Amino acid sequence: MTVRVGCSAALEGLRSEIEARLVSYLPDRRELPEPLWDAMAYSILSGGKRLRPLLVCSALEAVGGERTEDLWRTCAAAEFLHAFSLIHDDLPCMDDDDLRRGQPTSHRKFGEGIAVLAGDALAVRAFEVLAATSRVELVHEFARATGAAGMIGGQVADVMAEGRPASAALVAGIHRRKTAALFRACVRAGGLLAGATAAQMHALSVYGEELGMAFQIKDDLLDVESSTERLGKSAGADSRHCKATYPAATSVHEAHAACSAHAAAAWAALENLTNPALLQELARLSTEREA
- Output the pLDDT for position 282: 95
pLDDT confidence tier of residue 6, bands split at 50, 70 and 90: low
Instruction: Give the integer Cα–Cα distance in Å for 163 and 33.
Output: 39
- Output the pLDDT for position 8: 86
Is residue 44 over pLDDT 90? yes
Q: pLDDT digits over 131-168, tens only?
A: 999 899 999 999 999 999 999 999 999 999 988 888 99
- Output the pLDDT for position 4: 42
Segment 34-43 shows an average pLDDT of 95
- Output the pLDDT for position 2: 43
pLDDT confidence tier of residue 5, bands split at 50, 70 and 90: very low
pLDDT confidence tier of residue 270, bands split at 50, 70 and 90: very high
The alpha carbon of residue 134 and the mean position of all alpha carbons in its chain are separated, in whole angstroms, by 24
Segment 70-99 shows an average pLDDT of 94
Burial 181-207 (b: 16+ CB within 10 A, else e): bbbbbbbbbbbbbbebeeebbebbbbb
Is residue 102 over pLDDT 50? yes
The alpha carbon of residue 8 and the mean position of all alpha carbons in its chain are separated, in whole angstroms, by 20
pLDDT confidence tier of residue 47, bands split at 50, 70 and 90: confident
Of 202, 209, 218, 153, the C-alpha closest to 186 is 209
Residues 6+ apart with CB under 8 A from 141: 185, 188, 189, 192
Q: pLDDT digits over 220-232, tens only?
A: 999 898 777 776 7
Segment 212-238 shows an average pLDDT of 85
Residue, of 238 and 191, whose pLDDT is higher: 191
- Output the pLDDT for position 289: 86
Q: pLDDT digits over 169-198, tens only?
A: 999 999 999 999 999 999 999 999 999 999
Domains recognised in the chain with CATH numbers: 9-288 (1.10.600.10)
pLDDT confidence tier of residue 69, bands split at 50, 70 and 90: very high
Instruction: Give the integer Cα–Cα distance in Å for 158 and 265.
Output: 25
